Amino acid sequence: MEEVVYLDNSATTRVAPEVIDAMVKMMEKDYGNPSSLHRMGITVEKKINKAREQIAKILGVKPKEIIFTSGGTEANNLAIRGVVYQYNKRGRHLITTRIEHPSVLNTFQRLEEEGFEVTYLPVDREGFISIEELKSAITPETILVSIMHVNNEIGTIQPIQKMGEVIKEINPRTIFHVDAVQSFGKLSLNPIQMKVDLLTISGHKIHGPKGIGALYCNEKINLKPLVEGGGQEWNIRSGTENVPGIIGLGLASQLIVKEREANVERLKDLKGWFLKELKKLIPDVKINGPESVEDIKEGKSAPYIINLSFPGLKGEVLLHALEDFNIYVSTGSACHSRKSAPSHVLQAIGLNQRELESAIRISLSFHTQKEELEYLLEHLPDLVVELRNLMQR
């Protein structure tokens, strides 16, 4: 196979050709500033609003509830800080989980330094948060709960709607933020129904460009802006709009939801088949996250994220060995010169040292074909055996 087998789609995705064309056109032809008073500005403004409508429609919300940002990280920062600085008179208690993306976790750690009290909910061995623990963590002082929808490393899908109901039942004034970077466009999302007030999405995880994301913000909520300036995006996020990025994100969101259900069903089967074959070939493989066929079918585990450990070798070495076959995956931990910094997510679900250092993540897209996973299965078992012999640990 001469082609690239790209299985790192949770890190980033290939930009769709239609998206590239649309973005290039914007840069060549519609290069006006949407804030300009003349026709060239108005043309661009209209296109931005169309992209806003496209995204709003997918989420079943109002266009004016969509704020464009530089990406998922900024949207998470804006959601959390924007709420906390605006509503800290109501209380100083916040809730999140131990398996969030660093853009959420590090923001909360900074807020702890600023005197806020943060509860970090633990997860079970499959990465699920207990609804009971969430219930007992909410107090009258709780102003914000931030929980991710799909975990980027192990694919666990939290029961967001149940959580939203529980939160609003105990404290209707508690604001609920969901990081949906890994689920937007792939799983159905309805913030209103899910009782979610703020929701983060990102362009480059859905075959759109990098450097663009958006935050859904319920119109009843006021956010303290992080960026001051010319007052774009209703004064919540100033700065001349990233026009090509916004157009790219709008179009990418249209393209990805087109055949969504069919694609999800296909990937569920594909993931189930892959794990079954893998266990035959490598009996002692450990699957991290929800692993049963039922979990995949019932929507407890994302059909496009697979996290595996091969105790006895190093994930990074396996990653590089796969590279030689043009197969691209990612690891569960970043290697350091004398020690590895294991993933906080894998630690939270209770992996031991050998499982931590040998983890790799395979992440699919709606374009992933069975042949590609077959090609992976052709090489993976041999490599695992060979590397284990060499590493002898």
The contact set with another protein (CB under 8 A) reads: 314, 316-321, 323-324, 334-338, 389-393
For another protein, the closer CB: 145 or 387: 387
Beta carbon of residue 339, minimum distance to another protein (angstroms, whole number): 9
Beta carbon of residue 72, minimum distance to another protein (angstroms, whole number): 24
- Assign 216 to helix, strand or coil: strand
The tokens describing 368, both together, are: 């992933």
Q: Report the Cα 8 to chain-centroid distance in Å.
A: 13
For residue 259, give Cα distances in angstroms to 114, 179, 254, 272, 294. Answer: 45, 23, 10, 20, 23
For another protein, the closer CB: 267 or 321: 321
Beta carbon of residue 334, minimum distance to another protein (angstroms, whole number): 7
Residue corresponding to tokens 């916004």? 246
- The phi, psi pair for 146, rounded to 5°, reads -125, 115
Exposed/middle/buried for residue 344 (C-beta within 10 Å: 0-12, 13-18, 19+): middle
What's the sign of the alpha-carbon dihedral 267, 269, 271, 273? negative
Beta carbon of residue 106, minimum distance to another protein (angstroms, whole number): 19
What's the sign of the alpha-carbon dihedral 359, 307, 122, 151? positive
For another protein, the closer CB: 101 or 314: 314
Contact 304, 206 (CB under 8 A): no
For another protein, the closer CB: 95 or 313: 313
Q: Report the Cα 330 to chain-centroid distance in Å.
A: 15
- Assign 334 to helix, strand or coil: strand
Annotated catalytic residue within 335, 344, 347, 388: 335
Quote the DSSP letter at residue 41: H
For another protein, the closer CB: 64 or 320: 320
For another protein, the closer CB: 92 or 388: 388
Please name the amino acid found at residue 345. Answer: V
Beta carbon of residue 338, minimum distance to another protein (angstroms, whole number): 6
Catalytic residue flag (residue 335): yes
Going by C-beta distance under 8 Å and a sequence separation of 6 or more, which residues neighbour residue 298? none
Beta carbon of residue 330, minimum distance to another protein (angstroms, whole number): 13
Active site members: 335
